[in-house]
A and B are shown apart, each in its own frame.
Chain A
Amino acid sequence: MAISQETYQVLESIVGPEYISANPVICEGYRAGPGGYECGSGYERVMTKVPGCVIMPRTTEEVQKIVKVCNRYKIPYVPYSTGFYGARSHPHVSDELLIDLKRMNDFELDEKHLYAVVEPGIIYSQLQEEAMRRGMYIVVGGGGSQVSAIANMIGDGWSPLSYRIGLPHRRILGTELVLPDGELVKLGSLALQGDPFWGEGLGPDLRGLLRGFTGLRGCLGIVTKMAIKLLPFQPERLEPTGISPHTTLQLPTNRVKWINFSMPSKDAMKEAMYEMSKAEIGAGVTKVPIFWRVIAKAKSKEEFWKLWSKENEETLSSFHVLRVLLIGFASEEQLEYEERVLTDIITELGGEARRTRPSDESWFKNADAAGMWLMCGGYVSVDYVIETIEHAIPHGENYAQLKKSFTPPLMPDYGDPGWFQSFELSHQGYSEFLVYWDPDENTDRVDHFYLETSKENIRKRFYTSLLGPHQPLYLTGPAYGPNYHKWLLAVKGEFDPNFVCHPPVPLAHDAFVEQAEWMKPLKDWESPKIRQKK
């Protein structure tokens, strides 16, 4: 047994014998890889460990007690909601306690005030169904309907529907957070009257700290409850149809409509986003990366490659498809009006509507991020920027260039600049750079590429969201700060004096570079030695 008999017994007394195990077989079932997000990469192989023990609390009180025990006995622990976020969601040191939160799945919905109170075990598709049934909706992060709504809200939380709504910061209302030392903090209005209806005031508001732009990946405590703002939808049902794998939501086209437009250029796509925003129309928008279309069309991996091999740099550079979602939130007339305005905008920009199926399989209730692994078996998004549209576009193009020199081992993608869209009625621009590789080949250069994206960001002054927890903090911190790293480590030290909450995050990538021989030639920045328990 990895942790001492005494500690095990104390933990067992908190949750009961059925909900804790240090059995090596049970623990092996929680291994991060070899498949999954960022798995099959050097980071996963070097930095993740099978947990020494797994525990499944049911209540916030139990979480608090567990965390206090961890502090008393100096046991490292990691919060784990569904574990879909790959290597980073798993233990990074030996004998770590994995706190599996799936039993915490209470759910309440306040129809009158438009919010739901969820625990970490609630996933997006559950929340979306409960909301839509009552005439409301939520933005399901593109990473998947299968992810914990809380884990996504504190880390990511965007999809083409963020065009209208923006990032989730303000949609996080009253929240319960167990700090790394076991103390409980209630955020927002929850702090005063046990009523979670409001996020900022009257109680403390640690949302900025909790998520920043893209979260701290489990190293600053455990969110055990969160009230999430829901948005008013329209009244018609989106009807599920089809048999797996061809399942889809049939859209009530008098109220909800996706329209794909062929645009003459990238500039025209960009202009369309701006114009739509000025006119305040549209419920969602995105540029469609061509390989998403191919994944959606292909019946198998083999068919994907057959279709993909027909593409080339030229077909890609002339593929400008803009996908727009219209919702008649208030009435059918709203949708008709918005469609007319949109048509004017697109026509003026020289674009034209393509035939678009009256269904949704990717964004409302089912975000099939799992399809990202269909073609190669290895996948990670090496970078995403959340800045302006003007910033996001060159970011994608730039990375496409850099990537060329890493292909192979990266999948040949003919210069595709990744995913691009606007958030918050074009006040923000988003660019995500996705890479795929065959994990059964040598992956050293995949690890190199990941790190090179950081250096490229620094050289070209792209504002990346993947700071601290995803890249070497001593590389990115001084460049962005100049004392971002010091500040982050000070915060971490203050909240987690024993450094037991998911160590060595936020220094995990630093530790990786230090430990992986093949990363050493890339290390041209200063950092203190990361002391890490093996």
Chain B
Amino acid sequence: MLKGKTSLDVTQVENFIFDMTKCIKCKGCTWVDHIYMPGVKFSTRCPSATRYLFDSYGAYGKMRIGLALVEGRLDYSHELLKILYACTLCGACDVGCKRNLDLEIELTLEALRIKAVKDGKGPMPQHKKIAQDILTEHNRFGAPHQNRTKWLPEGIKPSPKADVLYFVGCSASYTNPEIAQATVKILDASGTPFMLMPDEWCCGNLLYSVGMVDEARELARRNVDMVKQAGATTLLTSCAECYRMWKVDYPKMLGISTADLGFRVVHLVEYVDELMKKGTLKLTNRIDLRLTYHDSCSLSRLSEPWVPWKGERGLWGMVNPPLDRRRGTNGVYQQPRDILKAIPGVELVEMPRMRENAFCCGAGRGTMEAFPDFALWAAEQRLAEVKEVGAEAVVSACPWCKDNFAKVVSKNGEKLKVFDISELVLASVEV
């Protein structure tokens, strides 16, 4: 649809034909913002285009291929599905594009995957297996559901009723329990009562990411209802991917604004930052470490609140009513840095690609499952940057990133340390 009624509804790919037709091949989606361009090294921010090299893998290629698909000039094929799915939906292209233009690139990429599923061609076979696990065991690892709370450390008791509900997520429940443990210990140390969901299920991240929007919406409804029933006013996550689901994709799928969820969604780093600034939490233990911080896409450039929009597009492509576009400006960038800087002994060094220019770790949005080599390659690229700035450790605020970096470090037998930020905060407050 080029003119006339349109909306941001990702289940109708026609809403994004305008965006697909207006891509100008400037490749602002692939290069680091030129103002921050660090030179010939570390100059791109799109993992897909950097790994597969053909223009077809950059957002400009995806827009052209997507348009041909929608217009019936191309049919599904192995290569086409690879182009749609060997992409971390990391949002670097979206903020890059919106630096100069008003195109909805991330939403277009999501809509194309939803279309692929609707057309019976997507997602990738590996995704289908995990989707099944999510539906039966309520987690993305296919692990027994009854083991979901095994991570809970001794001596920490969640409240039956509290303002803060900690949504642990699949990773911290099963594969990275250290993150869940650190999170609850931090809450405990700050004297924050918190509760867990009586029966926590997966947030549905993979389902939504690969285009299985109907299944994801079901989970969104169920999870939002659970929080409302529990009466929490704050939903806290320690996972960037869960965070984006709750804050952005749930409202998107439910046709409401983030503000209408009925509770606040916060990531641990926002919460800790607030506690520090209030003086309720003090980071006092020394950690002598030169480290760098990796911005997880879903906590940073993809995390701005969602507001549904529908209207008309007219002459010059103008829309009415005006649309306040999510350009990644107000992502959670500063809080984790303030936290790390507040830890005595920590020396925070920035990588050339930081904040909205960060190079995705490669793990998320179905990539690790369907294209593991690509996911590890992306992490390797990022770790090269960590080493370039001479950091001893890389810190992120998402178990997906931590897990992927850790895999590469162990595969290559590197000395580099990989932490989740919750672990460092805990080490600095624990007596």
Contact = CB atoms under 8 A, between A and B. Distances in A.
Contacts of A319: none
A390 to B, nearest CB: 35
B79 to A, nearest CB: 4
Interface in B118-167: none
Contact of A35 (B22, B58, B355): B22
A300 B3 contact: no
A336 interface: no
A25 B39 contact: no
Given A35-B25, A107-B40, A440-B3, A23 B79 contact: yes
Interface in B62-80: 62-65, 67-68, 73-74, 77, 79-80
Majority SS of interface residues in chain A? Answer: loop
B102 A374 contact: yes
Contacts of B101: 370-371, 373-374
A411 B316 contact: yes
Interface in B47-73: 53-58, 60-65, 67-68, 73
Nearest to A359: B35
B79 A374 contact: no
Interface stretch (A1-9, A125-133, A275-283): A125-133
Interface residues of B, number: 63
B329 A83 contact: no
Contact of A375 (B21, B62, B77, B316): B316
A361 B35 contact: yes
Contact of A248 (B35, B40, B96): B35
Given A126-B37, A145-B37, A370-B101, A377 B22 contact: yes
Contacts of B56: 25-30
A125 B96 CA distance: 15
A310 to B, nearest CB: 16
A125 B26 CA distance: 13
A36 B25 contact: yes
Interface string B326-370: 011100010000000000000000000001110000000000000
A137 B83 CA distance: 38
Interface residues of A, number: 70
B39 A100 contact: no
Contacts of A374: 100-102
B322 interface: yes
Nearest to B329: A243
Contacts of B95: 244
Contacts of A300: 102, 322-323, 325
B26 A103 contact: no
Contacts of B325: 300
Given A240-B35, A301-B102, A366-B35, 16 more contacts: A25-B56, A29-B55, A34-B67, A35-B22, A37-B24, A107-B40, A126-B37, A128-B37, A129-B39, A146-B28, A245-B329, A247-B99, A301-B319, A370-B28, A377-B316, A377-B317
21 contacts: A26-B56, A27-B56, A28-B56, A28-B64, A29-B61, A31-B64, A31-B68, A54-B55, A84-B24, A105-B40, A133-B39, A146-B34, A244-B357, A247-B35, A302-B320, A373-B24, A376-B317, A377-B317, A438-B316, A439-B21, A440-B2
Interface of B: 2-3, 21-28, 31, 33-40, 43, 53-58, 60-65, 67-68, 73-74, 77, 79-80, 83, 95-96, 98-102, 315-320, 322-323, 325, 327-329, 333, 355-357
The 9 A-B residue pairs with the shortest CB-CB distance, nearest first, are A29-B56, A29-B61, A125-B34, A370-B100, A125-B37, A366-B34, A145-B34, A247-B35, A370-B26
